[in-house]
Structure 1
Amino acid sequence: MFIDRAKITVKAGSGGNGMSSFRREKYVPKGGPSGGDGGRGGNVVLIGDANLNTLIDFRYKRQFKADNGANGQSSNMHGRSADDLLVKVPPGTIVKDEATGQVLGDITEPGQQIVVAKGGRGGRGNARFVNSVHRAPTFAELGEPGEERVLLLELKLLADVGLVGYPSVGKSSILAMVSAAKPEIAAYHFTTLSPVLGVVSIAQGQNFVLADIPGLIEGAHAGIGLGHDFLRHVERTKVLIHVIDVSGMEGRDPIDDYHKINNELKLYNEKLSKRPQIIAANKMDLPEAQENYKRVADYMAGLGHEIYPISAATGDGLPALMQRAAQLLAEYVEEPEEIEEAKVYEAKPEDEFSIRRDDDGAYIVEGEGIEKLVAMTRFGDDEGVRRFQAIWRRLGIEEELRVRGIQEGDTVRIRDMEFEFRP
């Protein structure tokens, strides 16, 4: 089964907790803090795999979680960092963050990797907090939580040449004749409901990937029929073979078909209308095609198009068509990418925060630094709480809350923690 879209949830590993311990050895009565740091959590990494050509595996498994880092140990022993979790996807996969719509990456090559969720850093052990004033700290940090996000995966086939045209014009028959692919072929519309790839061999060491793009119809650019599902797979092709039924046996005019399909390609993506395009006049084994061919050929010549009379049923004309497609492919020059207006991203300092009121009246404090501090503080440890309060005041959060009118007993919420405000 061909699946070209999927939604998955990825969760990177959290960092291991730091250790709070003291050196205890014979003849060393005051050995001092010796708690080690926790290890880093594993990243979630998507990697291109040439053996995959569909996203069907994500239909059965949709959640991926990397391992957490190991906790720190006594005697200044650090915890082991977790291995990254590698998730295999087919080349041609575009990765988006569902929450923001941001494109995180485009995997186009086997072995290409994208980190989609970063593992949390390990918490520091109490040995890391020793200074000239505080010689015996008892607190240690918890590990930083790993990133979690929902991803949208979209596969766009990596084909060199695409077969486009109305349903039942013979695209699948052409692919079956020129490659080892075995698409479903029948005498009814929309026999092919998903793109099919085949490798066309021209000569020793000379071949290309040919895609049978399921039949397009008028309105496909707006999603009519399965328009968007089909059109996305045309985007990466370099050369198009536009197949028309020159016999007109379906009651349609092949010239009219040509214009409708090209209009759909242009409306979907302007670049598609500029791709090299060869016209394949199919079904030349039928008497009606012989009668129509000169009129259609003269019209296409007037538009500057090459036209090849072929018969997918007998194979006549297909070798010359494939040779020409290979030649155009060799001459193809990638269009320069349009340079978008540069986006400037400013790094926000970790001590930045914002405060807002929730519907229940609680004060919500948000900010990377304070949220990370809450996640990594052991609130069951008195010394850890005192450290939290000192940083809280240093960041100016308490002062800002007073400006906003907070009263004793009001609720302050940071991440999933709630505090009762006491001056």
Structure 2
Amino acid sequence: MQFIDHAEIEVEAGKGGDGIVAFRREKYVPAGGPSGGNGGRGGSVLLQAVDDLQTLLDFRYARCFKAENGKRGGPNNCTGAAGQDTLIQVPCGTMVYDAESGDLLGDLVVPGQTLCVAQGGKGGLGNQHFLSNRNRAPEYALPGLEGEKRQLRLELKLLAEVGIIGLPNAGKSTLISALSSARPKIADYPFTTLIPNLGVVRKPTGDGTVFADIPGLIEGASEGIGLGHEFLRHIERTRLLLHLIDSTAEEPLAAYRIITQELQSYGRGLPERPQILVLNKIDAVTTDQLNSLQQDFAALNAGPIFCISAVTRLGLDSLMQAVWQQLEALLLESLSV
């Protein structure tokens, strides 16, 4: 499945039905008078968030969506039928922008949440509405109004509580596969991960927490270099970041500084996001090397440091216990605000 996280679509609401000119001429109705009904309302275009979609791929092939027009009014003061609304399903986490003005129209994050992006036109009034003492037989009615038409830009930001970041080959995909049932592609070459991978990790209480493995960032990612810049937006919603460092790399400290600098350059609250620093692949280094690395990172005041091996699952229990504690603290902090 292709992962598409942005798309542009055109939506057009339905036109309101026309009002009509009609008069009652029944045999036993002595004073007939005008009886032209109103036109029906045009259908609207709505977006609805659903939790069984993970990508905006469908909008690569279908870009234009139009709601049904309202029906014209009928005689005997009958109002025309309203046009049927068009409901478009999008993944949870979709942000909807007006493509021309750039205004944010809505952020669909909860399953079932809907947003009206194009309002249907009102139906025209029939000649019954223009009856007055001065005009007992109006012979005119109003046409229905046109529905709204818009160009929309959709952007998907994954809904994950924990984001796993790091340089290519830091072991992010291996870690998410060890923690969850996700089975991302894993290989020993840069940019194995081409799309974000989501995995549900079970808490000790049985609840599930979504982890996101973000494709490897490189120096200059915030300026559009490499793959990671395409997916930086997906960690904007995360509450906690796991910063994964390959302890077998030639310069682990340089790797840490590169990612930190990219988060600073990207901004949007990511530099202030709580982080847990994780030294991975400790099964491939000596004890002295590991101790030296821990001392170097401790000197940076980079926060808590955990040493793990995602392949052998060494240290994962301690790491996950710290993750659950941090998430619980963040939840309590948000509730107290």
Q: Same fold (TM over 0.5)?
A: yes
Matches within 5 A, 1:333-352: 333-334=333-334
Aligned to 1:279: 277
Partner of 2:27, secondary structure, is: coil
Matches within 5 A, 1:175-324: 175-248=176-249, 251=250, 253-287=251-285, 290-302=287-299, 303-324=301-322
Taking the aligned partners of 2:289 and 2:58, their CA distance within structure 1 comes to: 47
Percent sequence identity is 50
Taking the aligned partners of 2:85 and 2:298, their CA distance within structure 1 comes to: 57
Unaligned runs of 5+ in 1: 338-423
1:335–1:219 CA distance, 2 compared to 1 (3 A)? farther
Asked if structure 1 preserves the Cα contact closer than 8 Å seen for 2:40 and 2:73, the reply is yes
Quote the offset at 1:135 in angstroms: 1.6
| Deviation larger for 320-329 or 20-29 | 20-29
Aligned to 1:113: 114
User: Deviating runs (4+, > 3 A) in structure 1?
Assistant: 27-30, 333-337
Taking the aligned partners of 2:308 and 2:29, their CA distance within structure 1 comes to: 92
Matches within 5 A, 1:17-416: 17-28=18-29, 31-248=32-249, 251=250, 253-287=251-285, 290-302=287-299, 303-332=301-330, 333-334=333-334
Taking the aligned partners of 1:209 and 1:243, their CA distance within structure 2 comes to: 17
Asked if structure 2 preserves the Cα contact closer than 8 Å seen for 1:244 and 1:282, the reply is yes
Quote the offset at 1:211 in angstroms: 0.4
Partner of 1:106, secondary structure, is: strand
Quote the offset at 1:286 in angstroms: 0.8
Quote the offset at 1:27 in angstroms: 4.5
Taking the aligned partners of 2:108 and 2:154, their CA distance within structure 1 comes to: 10
Asked if structure 2 preserves the Cα contact closer than 8 Å seen for 1:33 and 1:127, the reply is yes
Question: Aligned residues, how many?
Answer: 333
Taking the aligned partners of 1:145 and 1:104, their CA distance within structure 2 comes to: 21
Partner of 1:285, secondary structure, is: helix
Partner of 1:273, secondary structure, is: coil
Asked if structure 2 preserves the Cα contact closer than 8 Å seen for 1:219 and 1:227, the reply is no
RMSD: 1.7
Quote the offset at 1:231 in angstroms: 0.5
Quote the offset at 1:158 in angstroms: 0.4
Taking the aligned partners of 1:305 and 1:82, their CA distance within structure 2 comes to: 58
1:277-314 alpha-carbon deviations (Å, 9 max, x no partner): 11110111113x54432222113223051111111111
Asked if structure 1 preserves the Cα contact closer than 8 Å seen for 2:236 and 2:268, the reply is no
The letter of the residue matching 1:229 is E
Asked if structure 2 preserves the Cα contact closer than 8 Å seen for 1:216 and 1:230, the reply is no
Taking the aligned partners of 1:50 and 1:166, their CA distance within structure 2 comes to: 30
The letter of the residue matching 1:300 is F
Partner of 1:280, secondary structure, is: strand
Taking the aligned partners of 1:334 and 1:292, their CA distance within structure 2 comes to: 39
Quote the offset at 1:154 in angstroms: 0.2
Quote the offset at 1:162 in angstroms: 0.5
Taking the aligned partners of 2:335 and 2:230, their CA distance within structure 1 comes to: 24
The letter of the residue matching 1:193 is L
Taking the aligned partners of 2:225 and 2:212, their CA distance within structure 1 comes to: 21
Partner of 2:199, secondary structure, is: strand
Unaligned runs of 5+ in 2: none
Taking the aligned partners of 1:129 and 1:223, their CA distance within structure 2 comes to: 62
Partner of 1:271, secondary structure, is: coil
Aligned to 1:411: none
Quote the offset at 1:197 in angstroms: 0.4
Give the number of the structure with larger relative contact order, counting CA–CA contacts within 8 Å between residues 6 or more apart: 2
TM-score, normalised on structure 2?
A: 0.95
Taking the aligned partners of 1:134 and 1:223, their CA distance within structure 2 comes to: 69
The letter of the residue matching 2:59 is F
The letter of the residue matching 1:86 is L
Asked if structure 1 preserves the Cα contact closer than 8 Å seen for 2:94 and 2:107, the reply is yes
Quote the offset at 1:29 in angstroms: 6.3
Asked if structure 2 preserves the Cα contact closer than 8 Å seen for 1:4 and 1:55, the reply is yes
Asked if structure 1 preserves the Cα contact closer than 8 Å seen for 2:216 and 2:227, the reply is no
Asked if structure 1 preserves the Cα contact closer than 8 Å seen for 2:281 and 2:310, the reply is yes
TM-score, normalised on structure 1?
A: 0.76
Partner of 2:194, secondary structure, is: coil
Taking the aligned partners of 2:307 and 2:148, their CA distance within structure 1 comes to: 57
